[in-house]
């Protein structure tokens, strides 16, 4: 089955390089030269994954990402300048699922895209068995990326659901950041501790929506995170 990637970048040479490299790997590339063009294109089709550059004319990648996250949870890989941690962290805080720093290898792009596509939920018309993880009164529906506690529920991003899945499967154990990230995102990922902290911060915010009085994730400074949401069941 072919997947569709929307590349949002004002570099047409980069579009062609990505298109030629990904085509034999069953990923069809559509290109937009700026954010306004991309948002207009997405009125007519929804890609399976988006590659989004930060530096673009008219509106930057962060503005585009804000607009995207209002309408869709499609996985987004941000393109940032080399070594610019501020851009990477801001992108993650706004809802990006991953990032690449320029210049990057097309082989790495393919690996990261495949990893995100593997974690993407199925389309609504696909009737697949639901995978549910239960911890105390918390219930995580992985195919819908939906977390519930008693009568309350909240939709998670795919990345948040992946992190929560790992923690819920290892309750009350302190999980190191690098191990947690590799289990959640895949062994082919490199992600900084700061990025892990940002994802966990988003997850905590989601948990407060459904269970505001329950501190389900504990931080162990210098060590990692521990899931204790199974302890409180009332």
Cβ contact 30:40 at 8 Å: no
Encoding tokens for residue 222? 């210098």
Extents of the domains making up the chain: 3-119, 132-227
Nearest to 141 by CA among 153, 150, 151: 153
- The CATH topology of domain 3-119 is Rossmann fold (3.40.50)
CATH number belonging to domain 132-227? 1.10.10.10
pLDDT tens profile 39-88: 888 888 889 999 999 888 777 888 888 888 877 888 999 988 766 677 77
- What sign does the dihedral 112-75-204-135 (CA atoms) show? negative
Question: pLDDT tens, position by position, for the chain (234 residues)?
Answer: 789 999 999 999 999 999 999 999 999 999 999 888 888 888 888 899 999 998 887 778 888 888 888 778 889 999 887 666 777 777 777 888 888 888 899 999 999 899 888 876 544 434 444 588 998 889 999 877 889 998 899 988 878 888 999 999 999 999 999 899 888 877 655 567 788 888 899 899 999 999 988 889 999 998 999 999 877 544
């Amino acid at each position: 089955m072919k997947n569709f990637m929307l590349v949002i970048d004002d570099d047409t040479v980069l579009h062609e390089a990505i298109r030629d490299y990904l085509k034999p790997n069953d990923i069809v590339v559509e290109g937009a030269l700026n954010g306004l063009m991309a948002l207009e294109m997405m009125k007519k089709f929804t890609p399976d994954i988006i590659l989004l550059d930060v530096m673009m004319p008219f509106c930057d990648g962060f503005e585009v990402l804000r607009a995207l996250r209002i309408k869709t949870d499609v996985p987004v890989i941000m393109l940032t300048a080399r070594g610019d941690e501020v851009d990477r962290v801001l992108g993650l805080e706004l809802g990006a699922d991953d990032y690449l720093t320029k210049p990057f290898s097309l082989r790495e792009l393919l690996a990261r895209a495949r990893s995100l596509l593997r974690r993407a939920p199925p389309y609504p018309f696909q009737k697949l068995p639901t995978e549910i993880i239960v911890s105390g009164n918390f219930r995580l529906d992985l195919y819908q990326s939906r977390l519930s506690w008693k009568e309350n529920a909240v939709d998670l991003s795919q990345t948040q659901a992946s992190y929560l899945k790992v923690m819920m499967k290892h309750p009350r154990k302190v999980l190191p950041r690098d191990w947690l990230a590799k289990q959640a995102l895949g062994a082919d990922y490199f992600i900084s501790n700061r990025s892990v902290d940002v994802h966990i911060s988003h997850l905590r915010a989601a948990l407060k929506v459904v269970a505001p009085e329950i501190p389900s994730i504990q931080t162990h400074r210098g060590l990692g995170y521990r899931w204790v949401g199974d302890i409180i069941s009332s």
